Structure 1
Amino acid sequence: MGRVIAVANQKGGVGKSTTAINLSACLAERGKKVLTIDIDPQGNTTSGLGVDKNSVENTLYELLLGESGIKEVIIKGVVENVDLIPSNVNLSGAEIELVGVDEKEYILKKEIDKIRRKYDYIIMDCPPSLSMLTINALTAATSVLVPIQCEYYALEGLSQLIHTIELVQERLNKRLKIEGVVFTMFDARTNLSLQVVENVKDNLKQNIYKTIIPRNVRLAEAPSYGQPINIYDSKSAGAESYRLLAEEVINREDE
């Protein structure tokens, strides 16, 4: 059975999509079969994996509303060993349309359960809010990976996110656990980045990945070419970091 990992943080701009795209691609590079699910109406993960989000017919929106089955919405082989469930701006309407639907928190879980055996990893890119879409992802997930930007307000939204995860554990998904925190956009030249890392380590009783993702020009450029970093610039610092993160994620499974 595949591990289902939600990449979540209700703060925007912390590197969620970057992490979902590149962790997926680096796990796939290690021979793992990966399904990436774009749960963000911005559709950044969809376009970052080279799919035109505006012209795609079947998306997560159609899946959640029961207009398409899960097999119809999966785009096969966007990168070698990576399949994708895309999303676009239509998804922002799902929240309203699902009001009054019974067990709406479980829609995604029920669909994922149908295909989970086919994948080693299912990586979900969550929107930057604690919305019904994020709750759906957390209910379907086995664990949550939290990217944190190395900046002054890094810890601010984190206690809220952890509280939400605990509520989901209590009421909807007993098995959910925090996979770990990964630091992103680390700038070794600033004391602030170092302070944030130390601060989070002191205040957070969570697993923290050893791998720290640097600020990296190539990493920022890659999505505009619709490629993960390990394909766009295989030797860049960003590619090396995400390979190390993928290795840690794989090893954590063996513990």
Structure 2
Amino acid sequence: MLDDDEEVMPEYDRDALGATFAVGNGKGGVGKTTVVSNVAGLAAADGARVLIVDINGQGNVGRDLGYRDSPEDDRGKGLVDALVHGKPLQPIANVRPNLDVVPGGEYVSELPDMLRLAFPKQKFRQVLALAISLAPMARQYDAVFIDSAPENPPLEQLALAAARWMIAPTKSDAGSIKDGLGDIARQFAVVQRKVNSSLGLLGVVLFASGSRSSQIRRRARDKIGEVLGSDFYMFESTIRHAEAVGVDARDRGLLVHELEVAAANNPAFWELRAGDSDKPVISKTSSSVAEDFAQLAREIFTRVAELEGRA
């Protein structure tokens, strides 16, 4: 999307976006949406006013938060109208207490083409469309999280151009790191150089890692260091692999800390053995994964405070 150095930069309130986080990786299936939903949900549960912007054609934030296919789920149509036609962003209010969401979905996939038609020969205006739409409302929130789309450089650039910080989840395999992380690092460099000099890399988080796989984690850290030139940006927090927890959470539209609470109401062993309960059994591992996300959320906001000199 960005290949023109002659264009005049459009005006907008960049300072309003100082608490905006783009969560991205060029590869799908590495935990971007899960990190967005759970970290944002924990911050909201702790009393912060939080907004999620889902700029992903899959719209899976809606599955994590349980509003998918509800009357409020416009599948990204409102987001497209705001960015292309200048209409105000209209989040779904209070998906959780203190947590609002601008839904994504199938309409978002049309955004790059529609922006090119709406703003021909205005490459900066195209890539800054989300920043321009988001800035007027961003000060209402303590934090804004953008779930970016994988394998779609124009949508990745839209998210990065609106952000102050990038968080990059990755799995430990070479495809997730060398291809996925390498791709988002390239988009990061282009956006930072051409339209958003305030963009910073906050950190890389290892997702779906075996809790006892210390050797695999060390190798992953080495590979991440090769891609980024340093392993300085690695978060100490990791999100452990727990397939049952991921399935339970998305099937029920619950965040992992909410799933932990629901697991406390599991039927007793004697009820299951006697066949006296038809209540679903939720994985007890949800407690451990909930603590992983709590640690990551604390590390994210602590690192921002340190980098901004507020620690």
TM more than 0.5 = yes
Q: Counterpart amino acid of 2:211?
A: A
Using structure 2 for the length normalisation, give the TM-score.
0.76
Asked whether the 8 Å contact 2:171–2:177 carries over to 1, the reply is: no
Q: Is 1:222 the counterpart of 2:249 in the alignment?
A: yes
- Of 208, 229, 233 in structure 1, the residue corresponding to residue 234 of structure 2 is 208
The amino acid that maps onto 1:28 is A
Gaps of 5+ in 2: 1-15, 262-285, 307-311
Q: Which has the higher strand share?
A: 1
- Describe how 1:1-255 pairs up with structure 2 within 5 A: 3-53=19-69, 55=71, 56-57=73-74, 59-66=78-85, 68-70=87-89, 73-100=90-117, 101=119, 102=122, 103-157=125-179, 158-190=181-213, 193-200=216-223, 202-203=225-226, 204=228, 205=230, 206-216=232-242, 217-234=244-261, 236-255=287-306
Secondary structure of the residue aligned to 1:6 is strand
Q: 1:128 to 1:54 in 2, by over 3 A?
A: farther
**Residue identity opposite 1:183 in structure 2:** L
Residues 138/202 of structure 1: CA separation in 2 closer, same or farther (3 Å cut) = closer
From the CA coordinates, give the structure whose radius of gyration is larger.
2
Does the CA-based 8 Å contact 1:144-1:176 persist in structure 2?
A: yes
Q: Does the CA-based 8 Å contact 1:54-1:88 persist in structure 2?
A: no
Distance 1:222 1:171, change over 3 A: same
C-alpha separation in 1, matches of 2:70 and 2:104? 9
Using the TM superposition, give the Cα deviation of residue 147 of structure 1 relative to its aligned residue in structure 2, in angstroms: 0.2
Q: Judge conservation of contact 2:239–2:289 (CA < 8 Å) in 1.
A: yes
Cα distance per residue 1:113-155 (max 9 Å; x no partner): 1011111110000011242221111110001000011224332
Which sits farther off after the overlay, 201-210 or 43-52?
201-210
| Cα drift, residue 60 of structure 1 | 1.6
CA distance in 2, matches of 1:202, 1:105: 29
CA distance in 1 between counterparts of 2:224 and 2:59 reads 32
Amino acid at match of 2:304: E
Quick check: 1:148–1:181 contact (8 Å CA) kept in 2?
Answer: yes
Q: In structure 1, give the amino acid aligned to 2:192.
A: Q
Runs of 4+ in 1 over 6 A off after TM superposition: none
What letter corresponds to residue 254 of structure 1 in structure 2? A
Change (3 A) 1:207 1:49: same
Q: Is the 8 A contact 2:91 2:101 kept in 1?
A: yes
How far, CA to CA, are the matches of 1:53 and 1:170 in structure 2?
A: 39
Task: Percent identity, please.
Answer: 26
CA distance in 2 between counterparts of 1:114 and 1:33 reads 16
- Asked if 1 retains the 8 angstrom alpha-carbon contact of 2:164 and 2:199, the reply is yes
Counterpart code for 1:78: V
TM-score (norm 1): 0.91
- For these two proteins, the number of residue pairs brought into alignment is 253
Q: Deviations over 1:162-198 (max 9, x none)?
A: 1221111110100001010000000135466334334
Letter in 2 for 1:117: R
Distance 2:212 2:303 in 1: 30
Question: What root-mean-square deviation, in Å, do the aligned CA atoms of Structure 1 and Structure 2 show?
Answer: 2.0
Query: Is the 1:218–1:236 Cα contact (8 Å) retained in structure 2?
Result: no
CA gap 1:154/1:132 in 2 versus in 1, 3 angstroms:
closer
SS at match of 1:210: strand
